[in-house]
Each structure stands twice: as structure tokens, then as C-alpha cells.
Structure 1
Amino acid sequence: MRIIIRYFFRTLRLVLTPFMLLNEKLSTPKSMTRTPDEQARADLASKQLALYQFSACPFCIKVRKEIARLGLNIETRDAQHDQQHRSDLEAGGGHIKVPCLRIKREDGSEQWLYESGDIKAWLQKRFETA
């Protein structure tokens, strides 16, 4: 019975994934406008960030939409299909859970921020202009 349930959910994921990705593409908001200097500062700060994610994860989609809305160029790392990124996430963050934002600080230390709501709040506090 357990194997039937497992295959049912795998099949359901395979069927729903294209629709979730299409919905993300169609509903992603336009990015906020910044002056060229502000955008350059945001791009520089974004280089210190990396989002570990799965492509069809609804919580990851939520974070990617916020990244697009804020007009950020944050590297996304596929922790589902890329074994190196998966290993880095487990070694740095402590466990394999997405979405996870890796924040590299100026002193060289790293912070691993989990939970889509926390990531969105941190990005808004850090990058949203008043």
C-alpha cells in the first residue's frame, strides 16, 4: 500500500509541476524601478546571496516572485537535481530544506535563512526602498 501512495504522489507532482511553473511565469510581478546607482548597489549586495530551491516547490516560487518584484539578481541553486548544491545546503544549513537563503557576510561568515516568510521579510527589509 505504501508504494502505491508513493507513486500516486509522484505522479501527481509530475502532472502539477508544469502548471505551477506556468502559473509562476504568468503571475510574477514586474520589478520595482530604481535609479541606476541604487540598482548597482542592489546588484552588488545580491552577489552575497544564494537561494537554494526546488523548481516546483510552492514556497520557493513565492520567494522567487519576491526576488523578481524587488528586481534582485540572486543566484538560484537547484538543491533537488544538483548533488553538489544539495550537499552544500546540508553541510552549511544543517539540513535539506528549501527554500533556504545563504547570506554571506562581510566578515566571511554565513547565515542560512530558512522559511519563505522569513526570507521574504529579510529581503524586503534589506532591499525595499522607502
Structure 2
Amino acid sequence: MRILIRTFFRGLRLVLAPVVLIAEKLSTPKAIERSPEAQAEVERTCESLALYQFRTCPFCVKVRKEIARLGLPIEVRDAQLDLEHRQALAEGGGRLKVPCLKITRDDGPTEWLYESDAINAWLHRRFGEASPQVSPQ
């Protein structure tokens, strides 16, 4: 019975994966506009960020949409298909759970932020339109 249930959900994922990806492409918002100087500062700050994700995870899609809306060039790392990224997430973050935003601070420590709502809130606080500050804290 367990194999039958597993097979059903794998099949369901195979059918829904393209739908999720197409829906993401069609509904991704336009990026906010910044001055060239502000965008350069955002790009510099984003060099210390990396998003660990699974391509068709709906929570990861939610975070990628916020990243696109904020116009952030954050490195996206596939923890499902890339074994090195998967291992880095498990060892560094302590859990194999996505989405996870890796935040490397200028002064050295690394923070692993889980949960799509928490990640989106953090991104919005740091890079939102009304945000006067761009560097991670």
C-alpha cells in the first residue's frame, strides 16, 4: 500500500511540476525600479545571499517571486538536484528544508533563514521600496 501511495504522489508531482513552473513565469511581477547607484548597492549586498530551493516547490516559487519583484540578483541554489548544495544546506543550516536563505554577514557569521514568509519579510525589510538601508544586519 505504501508503494502505491508513493507512486501516486510521484506521478502527481510529475503532472503538476510543469503547471507550477508555467504559472510562475506568467505571474512573476515586474521588478521595482531604483536609481543606478541604489541598484549597484543592492547588487553588492546580494552577493552575500543565496537561496536554497527546489524548482517546483510552491513556497520556493513564492520567494522567487518576491526576489523578482524586488529586482534582486540573489544566487539560487538547487538543493534537490545538486548534491553539493544539498549537503551544504544540511550541514550549514542544520535541516534539509527549503526555501532557505543563506545570509553571510560582512563581519563573518552566517545565518540560515527558513520559511517563505520569514524570508520574504526579511527581503522586504532590507530591499523594499521604502527601505533606506540595503546592507544585511
Tell me the TM-score range normalised by the shorter chain.
over 0.9
**3-state SS of paired residue (1:112):** strand
Which residue does the alignment assign to 2:12?
Answer: 12
**3-state SS of paired residue (1:92):** helix
Q: Does residue 128 of structure 1 match 2:128?
A: yes
TM-score (norm. length: structure 1):
0.99
Which residue does the alignment assign to 1:105?
Answer: 105
Amino acid at match of 1:7: T
Q: Is the 8 A contact 2:32 2:129 kept in 1?
A: no
Which residue does the alignment assign to 2:43?
Answer: 43
Q: Following TM superposition, by how much is the alpha carbon of 1:129 offset from its aligned partner in structure 2, in angstroms?
A: 2.5
Q: Following TM superposition, by how much is the alpha carbon of 1:107 offset from its aligned partner in structure 2, in angstroms?
A: 1.1
Amino acid at match of 1:105: R
**3-state SS of paired residue (1:111):** strand
**3-state SS of paired residue (1:50):** strand
Which residue does the alignment assign to 1:119?
Answer: 119
Aligned-residue sequence identity (percent) comes to 62
CA–CA distance in 2 between the matches of 1:129 and 1:117?
A: 18
Which residue does the alignment assign to 1:28?
Answer: 28
Provide, for residues 64-86 of structure 1, a one-character-per-residue CA deviation record: whole Å limited to 9, x for no partner: 00000000000000000000000
CA–CA distance in 1 between the matches of 2:95 and 2:118?
A: 17
Q: Is the 8 A contact 2:52 2:77 kept in 1?
A: yes
Amino acid at match of 2:10: R
Unaligned runs of 5+ in 2: 131-137
Which residue does the alignment assign to 2:65?
Answer: 65
**3-state SS of paired residue (2:51):** strand
CA–CA distance in 2 between the matches of 1:93 and 1:111?
A: 8
Which residue does the alignment assign to 1:56?
Answer: 56
Provide, for residues 30-50 of structure 1, a one-character-per-residue CA deviation record: whole Å limited to 9, x for no partner: 000000000000000000000
Moved over 3 A (4+): none
Which residue does the alignment assign to 1:93?
Answer: 93
Give runs of aligned pairs for residues 78-89 of structure 1, distance below 5 A: 78-89=78-89
